[in-house]
Amino acid sequence: MNEDAQNIMAEMQQIQQKLQQVVQQTEQTENEINGARKSLEELENDGGQVYRAVGNLMVAKDRDNLKDELEERKEDLEVRLESLERKEDKLRSKLEETQQKFSQGLQ
């Protein structure tokens, strides 16, 4: 394997590592969004007192304030998710290009 092929192979490995990190961040963000959605649903369905975890304590919270906080958090996470998805698409495209370069170099 010549030096160019080795460099391309190293670049592919770096891209794959970055892609794996972005995929993990995407999954984590999706999970957080789902958690916020479930919390918002519970706020709508349950009319009782609401609490928020603060460290090791549960602190009573105003329902409307908590709902606003959760909505804002969910919106922030959705923006982050869109950014991660764009980043993932770019990395996948770059990986494909690099794989093609590698294949052409072997021919």
Per-residue pLDDT of the chain (107 residues; tens, 9 = 90+): 678 888 999 999 999 999 999 999 999 999 999 999 999 998 888 778 888 888 999 999 998 999 999 999 999 999 999 999 999 999 999 999 999 988 887 66
Bridge partners (DSSP) of residue 54 are 57
Domain count, the chain: 1
- pTM for the whole thing? 0.83
* Domain of residue 23, residue span: 3-106
DSSP-assigned letter for residue 47 = -
CATH number for the domain that contains residue 72: 1.10.287.370
Distance CA 83, CA 69 (A): 21
Distance CA 75, CA 81 (A): 10
